């Protein structure tokens, strides 16, 4: 950590910062510059109580050099994490995994039908919400337990792994009982009680990037999961908030290679929420694979015009088939292939 002093800081103020650093058990290295003095704090283990320093007179700014997270970092573990979905498919290795399904589970007919179709087209996992966090209290909020049971039944029939969201700490256990992967939604990326519980669930977690979360903050959220004992975390870029409302979100595909260099965890992309517009989903799925994503999660609905949520961004089943056909050779260009059920 670097402590930058004000240009009017007195020698006494500089001295006091150095003393405080040493009191805290770290080394201090003063670097007088032309405009101002900066003081290096050496031996930082990532847990420095910054407020003790930032509150001292004459201090202008603290600059972190070490990263605030640890277990998720490449420094801590250089080798890529590979997450096992439990059905013979893994995320984070050479293969690119396709996860697909409706926004919400709506009925047995809907979910069984679409699961069969997706399995036939090349998906390895089935997504679908049983509990839906909705911006308006008047929108459809999901089938709950019945939705979970239908998802589990679809897995029995098709072999697809089940990915579904837990919306609160209390619900994690229930979701973990039925799902293969617990999804933490964008609105809950910093819901710490939920993260801690998911970290103890024993099931892999799909962590979506918050609506305006920095990549570092997504990694810190993942740190909550790893520090609670769960190494099986899949990150998900799903678009961030922007000043241009032409699309629902701004899909930040550069986050994929950036995350790859900072962390050993796999990262996938969600072009459905990332764009919010059906005919932009397939181009952005292709782009995500080209950028190095370990997987794609997309919304596919048997009849989008009748979907109870997110209809405008759901693909028709035949569009998903086309998406698969285009992503496969792009994966090949960078030495990867699409994952397939055994």
Instruction: Name which of 109 and 332 has its Cβ closer to a copy of itself.
Output: 332
Name the residue nearer to a copy of itself (CB basis): 162 or 213: 213
- Three-state DSSP at 158 gives helix
Q: What is the DSSP letter of 187?
A: G
Closer to a copy of itself by Cβ: residue 157 or 173? 173
Using the minimum distance from each CB to a copy of itself, give the nearer residue, 79 or 138.
Answer: 138
From candidates 169, 174, 302, 319, binder to a copy of itself by CB under 8 A? 169
Q: Is 7 in the site for a copy of itself (CB under 8 A)?
A: yes
Minimum gap (Å) between residue 246 Cβ and a copy of itself: 5
- Give φ, ψ of 70 to 5 degrees: -140, -65
Taking alpha carbons only, the member of 331, 296, 302 closest to residue 319 is 302
By CB under 8 A, tell whether 120 contacts a copy of itself.
Answer: no
Q: How many CA atoms lie within 13 A of 318 on its CB side?
A: 1
* 116 part of the interface to a copy of itself, by CB under 8 A: no
User: Which of 160, 205 has the CB closer to a copy of itself?
Assistant: 205
**Per-residue contact string for residues 132-151; x = within reach of a copy of itself by CB under 8 A:** -xxxxxx-------------
Work out which of 120, 193, 202, 229 binds a copy of itself, going by CB under 8 A: 193
Map the footprint of a copy of itself across residues 52-111, applying CB under 8 A. 52, 54-56, 63, 65-69, 74-75
Taking CB under 8 A as the criterion, the residue among 18, 112, 152, 211 binding a copy of itself is 211
Residue (of 121, 183, 111) closest to 151 by Cα position:
111
Among 160, 291, 298, 338, binds a copy of itself (CB under 8 A): 291
Closer residue to a copy of itself in complex, CB, 119/197: 197
CB atoms within 10 A of CB 119: 18
- Two tokens, residue 87: 């059905």
Please give the C-alpha separations between residue 85 and each of 82, 91, 160, 215, 338, in angstroms, as whole numbers: 10, 7, 9, 24, 15
Which of 79, 77, 19, 70 is closest to 44 using CA atoms? 70
Do you know the residue count of the chain?
342
Q: What minimum distance in Å lies between the beta carbon of 283 and a copy of itself?
A: 5
**Does residue 292 interact with a copy of itself by CB under 8 A?**
yes
Q: Is 174 in the site for a copy of itself (CB under 8 A)?
A: no
Single residue of 13, 18, 24, 40 touching a copy of itself by CB under 8 A: 40
Contact 229, 204 (CB under 8 A): no
Site string for a copy of itself, 218-257 (x = CB under 8 A): --x--xx--xx-----------xxxxxxxx--xxxxxxxx
Minimum separation from the CB atom of position 234 to a copy of itself (A)? 19
Contacts of 163 (CB under 8 A, 6+ apart): 99, 101, 125, 126, 127, 179, 180, 181, 183, 206, 297
What percent of the chain is helix, strand and coil (3-state, nearest 5)?
Answer: 40, 20, 40
């Amino acid at each position: 950590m670097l402590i930058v002093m004000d240009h009017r800081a007195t020698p006494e103020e500089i001295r006091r910062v150095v003393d405080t650093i040493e009191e805290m058990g770290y080394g201090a290295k003063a670097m007088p510059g032309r405009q101002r003095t900066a003081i290096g704090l050496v031996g930082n283990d990532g847990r420095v109580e910054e407020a003790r320093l930032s509150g001292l007179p004459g201090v202008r700014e603290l600059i972190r050099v070490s990263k605030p997270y640890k277990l998720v970092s490449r420094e801590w573990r250089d080798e890529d994490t590979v997450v096992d979905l439990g059905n013979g498919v893994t995320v984070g290795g050479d293969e690119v995994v396709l996860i697909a399904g409706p926004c919400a589970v709506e009925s047995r007919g809907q979910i069984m039908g679409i699961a069969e179709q997706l399995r036939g087209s090349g998906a390895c996992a089935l997504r679908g919400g049983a509990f839906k966090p909705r911006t308006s209290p008047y929108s459809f909020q999901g089938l709950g337990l019945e939705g979970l049971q239908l998802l589990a039944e679809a897995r029995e029939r098709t072999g697809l792994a089940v990915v579904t969201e837990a919306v609160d700490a209390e619900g994690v256990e229930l979701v973990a009982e039925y799902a293969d992967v617990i999804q933490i939604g964008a609105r809950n990326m910093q819901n710490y009680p939920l993260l801690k519980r998911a970290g103890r669930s024993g099931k892999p977690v799909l962590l979506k990037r918050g609506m305006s979360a920095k990549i570092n903050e997504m990694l810190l959220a993942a740190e909550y999961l790893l520090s609670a004992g769960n190494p099986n975390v899949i990150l998900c870029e799903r678009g961030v908030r922007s000043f241009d409302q032409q699309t629902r979100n701004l899909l930040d595909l550069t986050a994929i290679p950036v995350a790859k260099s900072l962390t050993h965890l796999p990262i996938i992309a969600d072009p459905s929420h990332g764009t919010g517009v059906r005919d932009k989903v397939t181009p952005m799925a292709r782009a995500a694979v080209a950028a190095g994503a370990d997987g794609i999660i997309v919304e596919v609905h048997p009849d989008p015009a009748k979907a109870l949520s997110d209809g405008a961004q759901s693909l028709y089943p035949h569009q998903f088939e086309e998406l698969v056909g285009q992503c496969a050779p792009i994966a090949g260009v960078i030495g990867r292939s699409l994952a397939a059920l055994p």
